[in-house]
Structure 1
Amino acid sequence: MIGTGMSFRKSNKNDHLRRRPGARPSLLLLISMILSPAAQAAGPLDGAIRAQRGGDNITASKMFYQAVTSSSGELKQDAEMGLAQSLKLAGFPYASAYFFSRLVSLGPRGKYFKPALDALSELNSRAPLGRASIAGLFQVKADQIEIPAGAKGFYHYYKGLEAFDAGPQNPSNLIRAKAELERVPAGNTYYNLAQFYLGVIFSILKNSDSALDSFKRAQRTTSDNIRQLATINLARVYYERREFRASFENYSKIPRDSDLWLQGIFEGAYGFFMIQKHNNTLGNLHTITSPFFERRFYPETYILQAITYLRLCRVAEVDRALKQFQDRYKPKFSDLNRLLKTYKGQSTAFYDVVARYRNTKTMKEFTAAVDIVDAVSRTEGFKEGQTVVRNVEREKSLMRTRGARLDALSEVLKKYYSDMRDATAERTGQQAFDHALQLFRYLQDLSNQTRLINLERQAVVTDSIREEYQGDPGGADKTDWGEGMRPLNLKQQLEYWPFEGEYWEDELGAYIYNIDSKCGGTPKKGKSK
């Protein structure tokens, strides 16, 4: 991997032969080594190297760019590599990533394919570059031997992710993604993320044994986010296998200060429902409907409440749960429908709407749709996209103050920053819009489901409910394993409000109702833990 150190002393051409074993060469020495003698002696390149050795990376960038525009072949690649390195040293990571990516896009036959790929990997480990910055990777075909060791994880992870995002419903995309992700070396920065996606792929392919193995490997990370992500998906796989005890154990490992905790509480309610622990189910749902989480989007909570009360033959409670669903979500349909119609085909504008909400926690229009916008703003994909947009805008501002001497290069970079910002916002906005549309359809399905529950309520018949109502945790498509897993950063203690009835807290802190079943004419205690 290319080093970041710099030595300003005059270097001897044989210095690199005398450095201590295992030490990295300084960046200037490395540039001198990789640029050909002809390149170093060629006009602007010679001046650019002298400026770089003197620590003036702005002037060096300007002169390297002059060489890029006035040369061709290997000489042009020499100049572009020097330009990318100078911009990196000057503190412009996204600008440097642009030129590194251009060198990578030339493929393994390009002179600087390996060092440029190493540099992209290093830059991305510090801050997300975004897909637009590393797009050159996705068209490159390279053999294993041609990928530098330090960049293997970066290269194969993003190649795999691009294949996965092309459409996980298509088996050929899954196979391509799986092949790339399996090439990420153990111990690499991207290994645990790759294992997580492999777990998702195996889950989609109905290979639960391999899915469990991958998610367990992903758990061995130092990243709390990845570990929790893997843990909740282990719980989901065990749920699918009907191994409910193992499922509950994994849900219970999610800490309360994680956004995953509430998602785990909701999904755990389905596990309790499946084993007819109805009081446990109601206890979990009681937590989710707390006013503390009033902006969180869990409409299915009321549906599961109604079905659970129906199992207990408590018709009045069924009616109350269905009314709460209608009161809370029916007013949202109109605003949500208008929101989606307004921004259909306007991905960048929709990104701006969600980003503005995420920054201010307020909405000037479509206020009844705030739950949906809040849910979209919490996705990992949106948060990463917004981070890239902010970083690019910050670097563009820095370029205006520090890059006045870059002349023609300054104009090129201004256009690049605008294009990069727009491409990232458009991609992120489209993903956010698709997610909002999915949630709207999900809400419509739940609304239709209330009619079925009302029909069953008339006869208090519940045996067919589970067959008619497919209650997958979260109501999400099985390809959507990453949603609902965003850090909420709760600082205050969770509060619970008074409840008209009796419930109690078990040894793990779960809330459990203690209400009777009215089925069969004789009140019976509902099953509990």
Structure 2
Amino acid sequence: METVPDSVFEDGVKAFDAGDYRVAAEAFWHFLSGNEQTAEHYEWSEYYLARSFLRIGVNHAGVEYLYNVAKERKRPELLPEALRDIEKIRDLLPYDDELVDTDLLRSGDFGALPPDVKSFVEYQQGRLDLLDGRPAWAERHFDRLSRTSDDEQRVQRSALRAKLAQALAGLKSTHAQDTKVKRDTRVAAQKALEEIAASKIDDFKVKNDAKRVLAEVLFERKEFDAALKVYNSIEVPFLSEEEANLFLEKAWARYYKGDARGALGILLTLDAPSYRKYFKPERFVLKALAYKTLCHYAAAKASAREFLRRYGSSLEEVRRSRDPLTDPVVRTAAVQRKKPKRIYAFLDSLQRERDQVDRFSDEFGLATHLARIYDLKIAEVNRELDRVVKEEGIKVATELLDYEEQARLVDYEVSLEVFRRLKKGRGKKVVDQEAPVPLGSRQVYYRFDGEYWNDELHDYRYRIDNRCFGEELFE
């Protein structure tokens, strides 16, 4: 076999340094395809080819070659740089988690590494051990991170992420029967979450995740004011599904703390067109419960039945068909779930990158090689997406049936309360009345006319009389 000379590799380096990444990629591919793996510059060519692909935006191909460099480890000096590039890709871009997490990081023994890279590997391997049900192995990785004295920002960020993973694992382990040990574990986990949320380390996502879990813990402990305070500190993209979820969690907290009007104000926000596209059927049940608390029985029954009107055809299709995804509402809701969204984002990036393949020269077979990589991966990810969407579709259908049962139960309970109030409430005083709208106040009150403005979505207030009588008829 006639080999490609080192001068081709050197030309590729010159093109790379000059910012001509397409020419560089073609040179490095020429060198790789024309030499054995024992060639002097083979691993360097793989690394430079990966970086060239990343600069062009052909990211998955770049990850494939970074994987080769990190997996084979024939050039120890390249390993830290390859792992640093992989860390950036994981944080910023859709990526092949099976290739990177399962095949590379889960089982890799990378030996001595610089502190920042070592901390990244320790955290990822600990996280993956937790997912695989090996908490003792995960603790070994996390303990090494927690003992680090290196103040480099990336090292501290990995240690903070490990601390969050440990707190979540601790909470998960306490879900079964309550014991003193489990209560102590939950207290320790809550303290860890509070420390993470207050940390000065620059990791917005981790601190935001910690706040969300902390709010849920406080909610479960019935500390609703504290939970609301934490919920209000969580930052999410404006008009996103994450914001809709946050609104709904805050509405439940307000309802359970006895602020039915506050819950109704938040639910009014979720009726805005910007949020209406998100699958949130429980809001109708919560709205009915809030109206029922204030003894607005007609409105409570209307809210419960609004759920049945909104999702009636979907419920009928779920019962009729063996495949819940035949209903468009269920399918759309399934695709919106976290795991399908992540896979779809990766598929979308693959398809966009595949369109760039034809721009490469095929003189030495690079375009053909890239087309094969992308076509195989796109087919594989499509199969995975179909499988995951089917799983989520079954979950969505089950949730829909559960909320239907709750809506019908609320409708029935409201009917009972009407007769109970007629029997026991005659002649009693009305309690918890709204103060009248003040005349000449510095605050201006506007009657809602059904028109939503995005800059007002966080500020709606719901004025509604409490029609319940003075005796304690309701819990």
TM over 0.5: yes
C-alpha root-mean-square deviation of aligned residues, in Å? 4.1
For 1:241 and 1:446, the matched residues in 2 are separated by 24
For 1:328 and 1:453, the matched residues in 2 are separated by 16
After superposition, the Cα gap between the structure-2 partners of 1:421 and 1:182, relative to the gap in structure 1 and judged at 3 Å, is farther
Match of 1:204?
172
SS of residue matched to 2:355 = helix
Match of 1:297?
279
Q: CA deviation at 1:326?
A: 0.8
Deviations 1:447-489 (A, max 9, x none): 12234334433432999xxxxxxxxxxxxxxxxxxxxxxxxxx
Match of 1:517?
467
Deviations 1:132-186 (A, max 9, x none): 441432452427x5344342344344434544555xxxxx255555655666677
For 1:178 and 1:387, the matched residues in 2 are separated by 32
After superposition, the Cα gap between the structure-2 partners of 1:93 and 1:182, relative to the gap in structure 1 and judged at 3 Å, is farther
Match of 1:214?
193
Tell me if the contact between 2:8 and 2:28 (Cα under 8 Å) persists in the aligned partners.
yes
For 2:235 and 2:45, the matched residues in 1 are separated by 47
Match of 2:19?
none
1:41-440 alignment runs, 5 A limit:
43-44=3-4, 46-55=6-15, 56-57=23-24, 58-67=26-35, 70-71=36-37, 75=38, 79-89=42-52, 91=56, 92-106=58-72, 113-125=79-91, 127-134=93-100, 135-142=102-109, 145-163=111-129, 165=131, 172-173=133-134, 180=141, 187-188=153-154, 194-206=162-174, 207-214=186-193, 216-217=195-196, 220=199, 226-254=206-234, 257=238, 259=240, 260-335=242-317, 341=323, 366-367=327-328, 369=329, 372-407=330-365, 409-440=366-397
Tell me if the contact between 2:331 and 2:393 (Cα under 8 Å) persists in the aligned partners.
yes
Match of 1:12?
none
Match of 1:457?
414
For 2:367 and 2:106, the matched residues in 1 are separated by 28
Amino acid at match of 2:468: K
Amino acid at match of 1:303: V
Amino acid at match of 1:514: I
SS of residue matched to 1:303 = helix
Amino acid at match of 2:351: E
SS of residue matched to 1:405 = coil
After superposition, the Cα gap between the structure-2 partners of 1:337 and 1:65, relative to the gap in structure 1 and judged at 3 Å, is farther
SS of residue matched to 1:404 = coil
Q: CA deviation at 1:264?
A: 2.5
Amino acid at match of 1:244: F
Q: CA deviation at 1:297?
A: 1.8
Q: CA deviation at 1:98?
A: 1.0
For 2:361 and 2:336, the matched residues in 1 are separated by 35
SS of residue matched to 2:233 = coil
Greater CA drift, 373-382 or 94-103: 373-382
Tell me if the contact between 2:47 and 2:69 (Cα under 8 Å) persists in the aligned partners.
no
After superposition, the Cα gap between the structure-2 partners of 1:397 and 1:283, relative to the gap in structure 1 and judged at 3 Å, is closer
Q: CA deviation at 1:80?
A: 4.2
For 1:45 and 1:106, the matched residues in 2 are separated by 23
SS of residue matched to 1:416 = helix
Q: CA deviation at 1:283?
A: 2.7
Match of 1:30?
none
Tell me if the contact between 1:47 and 1:60 (Cα under 8 Å) persists in the aligned partners.
no
After superposition, the Cα gap between the structure-2 partners of 1:253 and 1:435, relative to the gap in structure 1 and judged at 3 Å, is same
After superposition, the Cα gap between the structure-2 partners of 1:210 and 1:98, relative to the gap in structure 1 and judged at 3 Å, is same
For the pair 1:445 / 2:402, whether they are aligned, the reply is yes
Greater CA drift, 315-324 or 108-117: 108-117
After superposition, the Cα gap between the structure-2 partners of 1:146 and 1:238, relative to the gap in structure 1 and judged at 3 Å, is same
Tell me if the contact between 1:77 and 1:111 (Cα under 8 Å) persists in the aligned partners.
no
Tell me if the contact between 2:80 and 2:114 (Cα under 8 Å) persists in the aligned partners.
yes
After superposition, the Cα gap between the structure-2 partners of 1:258 and 1:292, relative to the gap in structure 1 and judged at 3 Å, is closer
For 1:85 and 1:303, the matched residues in 2 are separated by 57
Match of 1:474?
none
1:479-498 alignment runs, 5 A limit:
497-498=448-449
The alignment of Structure 1 onto Structure 2 pairs a total of residues equal to 410
Q: CA deviation at 1:194?
A: 4.8
After superposition, the Cα gap between the structure-2 partners of 1:294 and 1:258, relative to the gap in structure 1 and judged at 3 Å, is closer
For 2:206 and 2:83, the matched residues in 1 are separated by 25
After superposition, the Cα gap between the structure-2 partners of 1:390 and 1:179, relative to the gap in structure 1 and judged at 3 Å, is farther
4+ long deviations beyond 6 Å: 107-111, 337-340
| Aligned-pair identity (%) | 15
Match of 2:435?
none
Give structure 2 stretches of 5+ with no counterpart: 16-22, 175-185, 421-445, 451-455
Q: CA deviation at 1:442?
A: 0.9
Q: CA deviation at 1:415?
A: 1.9
Match of 1:31?
none
Match of 2:181?
none
After superposition, the Cα gap between the structure-2 partners of 1:229 and 1:458, relative to the gap in structure 1 and judged at 3 Å, is same
SS of residue matched to 1:515 = coil
Tell me if the contact between 1:306 and 1:322 (Cα under 8 Å) persists in the aligned partners.
yes
